[in-house]
Amino acid sequence: MRHLFFLLAIGTSAHSALAQNYAIGSRSITFIDPARNDRAIATDIYYPAVSAGANSVVAEGEFPVIVFGHGFAMTVGAYQNWREFLVPLGYIVALPTTESALLPGPNHTNFGLDLSFVASRMQAADLDEASPFFGKVMQRAALMGHSMGGGASVLGASGNTNIKCIVCMAPAETDPSAVAAATNVIVPALFLQGTSDNVTPATEHVDLIFNALGSSCKAYASITDGSHCFFANGNFQCDFGEGSVGGPGSLARQAQHEISFAVTEPWLRYFLYDDCTAYDEFIAEMNTNSALGANILSCPNDAPVITENAGTLQSTTAPNYQWYLNGSEILNETAQQHTYAGAGDYQLGTVNVGNCPVLSNTIVISPTGVAEHAPSFALLQQQRTTISLQVNNAHRNVRAEWLDVDGRLLASKEFDDVAQGSQLTLVRPEHQGIKLLRITTPASQHVFKVF
């Protein structure tokens, strides 16, 4: 697990890079894959540049790579919207032009391998002194694609741990099956689908692929009235095909672009730039964007909860453990329990997704005993179905969360204001056994163990 100060430095660097509005440079490179009989993979590459234009000098810094797969019979020019959105934010966008002909039909196996190969070659260019990208490529890459390219991204990501995440827009089932390949995709996956897509209906394509994913972190954004082709710019082949099967949805193309950008940008920033604020931004977008319908979010990132007992700090179950004292990691303290030896502010961090830790509540060990950062709430009364707390000081924006002993959220309730001297009565969730009640204000937090 990384040191907290290093994560903060990474986050600051990410914000600095993404705050810039880079010019867009471009060049075409043909990569040769010796493992497939020297297969030539012609690729159009767009990148942050010192000045706009073909073959311009790459901007100072290191940038993650996004390899983008095009749709069936579509040229990479149809995705100008994505390159013009992503490159100024600090991403290198590589678009292989292979398998774009209508006849003969595309080879999905080769296209998926092309996407994966280009990602690896772009990362290798960082160490190649002869490459224009020497010293400019971050060892972070994502596969991204639309329609056939979305299905091919799943093929390319299957069993591939060299990429950090995938983004698939209206992904199509492929041959070989993207559904079958999805079981071996273990990296975080974001899928976007329009509800009015008649080209790749959700029940026949994206739903099957998404449900088969082996990823422990996956998200599905359903765009209300969105269409199949409107993830891209106008393209005759795609638009003609969609028109022949019912036409696009009622959502305008530009609006679908903006919604897609709003969901995708924080996802990429979190997994490719380690921007630790971006995860919450992504969750907020998924939960509050009125243009999104029935979304699916299976990407747990719950913070652990710690308690103190006779000199030992104990955490709820988490994927990994790192104890902190006064905001810094305690060397080699990576167990679920920690026996403290001195005064200070103690927390536990765990990394669920990406590389950013989420931190527990704080317990303060003082020279005279144990104190906890608490919002002046005291346990007053326990009933069979309710629990009451005494409010000793007035607070705004109070959140009460019920958790089981493993830290899983059972129920929550928010209060705009609680008055000094009042009682706060909460309904117990229907859960057997010991529960934790976490009360949080903007300035403090307290955890009660409830039997």
For β-strands 165-169 and 189-194, DSSP reports them as: parallel
> Which uninterrupted H or E stretch holds 138?
strand 137-146
Strand ranges (DSSP E) for 6-69? Answer: 23-33, 39-49, 53-54, 63-69
* Whether the bond into 304 is cis, omega within 30 of 0: no
* Whether the bond into 319 is cis, omega within 30 of 0: no
Judge whether 338 and 312 are in contact, CB under 8 Å: yes
H helix runs in 20-127, sequence order? 80-86, 108-125
pLDDT of residue 417: 86
Q: Which residues contact 206 (CB under 8 A, 6 or more apart)?
A: 168, 170, 171, 191, 193, 200, 220
pLDDT of residue 294: 84
> Which uninterrupted H or E stretch holds 152?
helix 148-157
Cα gap 33→359, rounded to integer Å: 44
Q: Name the DSSP class of 231.
A: G
Domain architecture of the chain: domains with CATH: 17-298 (3.40.50.1820), 301-373 (2.60.40.10), 374-451 (2.60.40.10)
pLDDT of residue 443: 64
pLDDT of residue 371: 58
Judge whether 81 and 257 are in contact, CB under 8 Å: yes
Q: Which of 251, 196, 197, 192 is nearest to 221 (CA)?
A: 192
Q: Which of 103, 148, 105, 115 is nearest to 39 (CA)?
A: 115
Judge whether 31 and 53 are in contact, CB under 8 Å: no
pLDDT, tens digit, for every residue of 421-449? 888 888 888 776 667 888 887 766 777 76
Amino acid (one-letter) located at 85: F
pLDDT, tens digit, for every residue of 92-142? 999 999 999 888 889 999 999 999 999 999 999 999 999 999 999 999 999
List, as one string, the DSSP characters of 377-426. Answer: EEEEEE-SSEEEEEE-S-EEEEEEEEEETT--EEEEEEEEEE-TT-EEEE
pLDDT of residue 14: 43
- pLDDT tens track of the chain, all 451 residues? 333 333 333 343 444 445 569 999 999 999 999 999 999 999 999 999 999 999 999 999 999 999 999 999 999 999 999 999 999 999 999 999 999 988 888 999 999 999 999 999 999 999 999 999 999 999 999 999 999 999 999 999 999 989 999 999 999 999 999 999 999 999 999 999 999 999 999 999 999 999 999 999 999 999 999 999 999 999 998 999 999 998 899 999 999 999 999 999 999 999 999 998 899 899 999 999 999 988 999 998 889 999 998 889 999 999 999 999 988 889 999 999 999 988 889 999 999 999 999 999 999 888 766 655 545 677 777 777 888 888 877 888 888 888 876 667 888 888 888 888 888 888 888 776 667 888 887 766 777 767 6
Cα gap 69→157, rounded to integer Å: 12
CA dist list (Å): 335 to 3, 5, 59, 63, 312: 16, 21, 43, 35, 12
